Amino acid sequence: MARSNQLGKEGEQAAREFLISKGYTVRETNWRMGHLEIDIVAHDPAANRLHIVEVKTRTVNAPRYDPMQTINARKIRNLVNAANGYINFYRLPMTVQYDVMIIFGKGPDFQIQFIPNAFQPPLRRLR
């Protein structure tokens, strides 16, 4: 396995552990629908809310580097489409929130930055 793939898996494991420690239930990891993927699907039972979590793992926290720049319009569109597929497949009557987790460092001493409600789905125009 490539080193970056291993780092990504370790970062996703740290993200899952973080969410569980906050009371979330992790429903899925790396859920796929065609070519679309959701890193983590979690449920917050207190709010009955489904969380679609994008995880970005990096070895260093460079001052000029902003991992949120990788969450562009295409990535948002893909996450929203995958989330809609997930909700329809499981027929879930829950609100959805899109979160981002940025994991810095090397395991097991990761630094975790959790960005709840990092973006909203784009509005669609009526024709």
pLDDT in tens, 103-116: 988 878 899 999 99
pLDDT digits (tens, 9 = 90+) for 37-63: 999 999 999 999 999 999 999 887 655
Is residue 127 within 8 A of residue 121, CB to CB? The reply is no
In this predicted structure, what is the pLDDT of residue 125? 57
Listed residue (64, 43, 30, 53) closest to 102, CA to CA: 53
Confidence of residue 4 (pLDDT cuts 50, 70, 90): low
Q: What is the DSSP letter of 67?
A: G
Which residues on neighbouring strands pair with residue 41, listed in sequence order? 28, 52
pTM for this predicted structure: 0.89
Listed residue (74, 90, 71, 115) closest to 31, CA to CA: 90
Is residue 76 within 8 A of residue 54, CB to CB? The reply is no
Average pLDDT value over all residues in the chain: 89
d(CA 31, CA 27): 9
Between 2 and 11, the more confident residue is 11
State the architecture of 3-117 in CATH terms.
Answer: 3-Layer(aba) Sandwich (3.40)
Sheet holding 111-119, edge to edge: 25-33, 36-44, 49-58, 95-104, 111-119
Q: Delimit the domains of the chain by residue range.
A: 3-117
